[in-house]
């Protein structure tokens, strides 16, 4: 007998990632979307989530008290993030979030929430990006600061935060592998006449245009040689699949901070 499906509430259901999750979820026997929450006044409010199915689930803005779930999956934005996290804590649900552009205060709120509920936040739910992060950190440990590092990311014209959360996560992993912090070595803008590049800097370059789903390249540039790691996503389905894997994995776990790597290693 197959295990019961994990009931999931989706916050930010009308966004690009929310729509991709709703497209994939019906094909998974281990996940059941029990609520699709959107912002007040959104165009889809009251519309059926799956018009071609005999399903009463509709887009809504408020979660009814009797609606219960094990996990809240959040793909909203930095403005709506606080409400999503507060709802998960109030209803004692596990919290899985891919919302980027968070402030330091919001990151601290995640830490505080993890004392009460299981929390898994990731800037990128692609399994390939999880591997990219590991390889980049390994390369940073081996190559050291003799190699300069640049992180180049590209996304669609509608993305608001820059650099991307994924680029920052990659930068943090590389800095930590070298015993530094991204606050110490991150360089986020270059313009006009500049001083010579400082040893150990990690530079970031941002591209915004068209419908690019998400490209990330980590460049290690040394004397006479370069090493490049690149991940390109051609569909948001890769992120949605990873988020659903994380939601299934985190359900029922004790309070604390968890990572996508932990969920992937359990596959």
Tell me: pLDDT of 252 over 80: yes
Closest to 96 (Cα-Cα) out of 72, 68, 70: 72
Least confident among 1-10, 100-109, 140-149, 206-215: 1-10
Structure tokens at 216: 């990330």
Whole-number average pLDDT of the chain: 93
127 pLDDT band, cuts 50/70/90, is confident
Fold of 6-121+236-265: Rossmann fold (3.40.50)
Higher pLDDT, 267 or 135: 135
Give the C-alpha separation, 154 to 171, whole Å: 15
What is the per-residue pLDDT for 101? Answer: 87
What is the per-residue pLDDT for 191? Answer: 86
Looking at the chain, the domain(s) classified CATH 3.40.50.720 span 6-121+236-265
Give the C-alpha separation, 122 to 246, whole Å: 10
What is the per-residue pLDDT for 140? Answer: 98
**CA distances (Å), origin 14, targets 37, 39, 59, 113:** 8, 8, 8, 25
Mean pLDDT, range 195-208, rounded to an integer: 94
Pick the CATH number of 127-233 from 3.30.360.10, 1.20.950.20, 2.40.30.10, 3.50.50.60: 3.30.360.10
- Cite the active site residues: 155, 159
Higher pLDDT, 261 or 170: 170
Tell me: pLDDT of 59 over 50: yes
E-strand ranges in the chain read 6-11, 31-37, 59-60, 71-74, 94-97, 118-121, 148-155, 186-187, 202-208, 214-221, 226-233, 256-258
Tell me: pLDDT of 102 over 50: yes
Looking at the chain, the domain(s) classified CATH 3.30.360.10 span 127-233
What is the per-residue pLDDT for 2? Answer: 45
1 pLDDT band, cuts 50/70/90, is very low
Give the C-alpha separation, 219 to 198, whole Å: 16
């Amino acid at each position: 007998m197959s295990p019961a499906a994990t009931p999931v509430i989706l916050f930010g259901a009308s966004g690009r990632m929310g729509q991709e999750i709703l497209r994939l979820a019906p094909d998974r026997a281990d996940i059941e979307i029990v609520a699709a929450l959107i912002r007040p006044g959104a165009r889809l409010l009251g519309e059926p989530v799956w018009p071609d199915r005999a399903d009463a689930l509709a887009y809504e803005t408020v979660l009814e008290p009797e609606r219960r779930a094990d996990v809240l999956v959040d793909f909203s934005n930095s403005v709506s993030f606080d409400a999503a996290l507060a709802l998960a804590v109030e209803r004692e649900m596990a919290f899985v979030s891919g919302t980027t552009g968070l402030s330091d205060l919001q990151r601290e709120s995640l830490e505080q929430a993890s004392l009460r509920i299981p929390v898994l936040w990731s800037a990128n739910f692609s399994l390939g990006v999880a591997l990219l992060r590991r390889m980049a950190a390994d390369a940073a440990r081996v190559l050291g600061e003799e190699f300069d590092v640049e992180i180049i990311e590209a996304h669609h014209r509608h993305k608001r935060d820059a650099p991307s959360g994924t680029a920052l996560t990659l930068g943090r992993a590389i800095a930590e592998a070298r015993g530094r912090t991204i606050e110490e070595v991150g360089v986020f803008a270059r313009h006009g006449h500049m001083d010579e590049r400082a040893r150990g800097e990690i530079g970031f370059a941002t591209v915004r245009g068209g419908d690019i789903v998400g490209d990330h390249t980590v460049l290690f540039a040394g004397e006479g040689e370069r090493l490049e790691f690149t991940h390109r996503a051609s569909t948001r389905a890769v992120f949605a699949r990873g988020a659903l894997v994380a939601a299934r994995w985190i359900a029922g776990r004790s309070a604390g901070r968890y990572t996508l790597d932990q969920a992937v290693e359990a596959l």
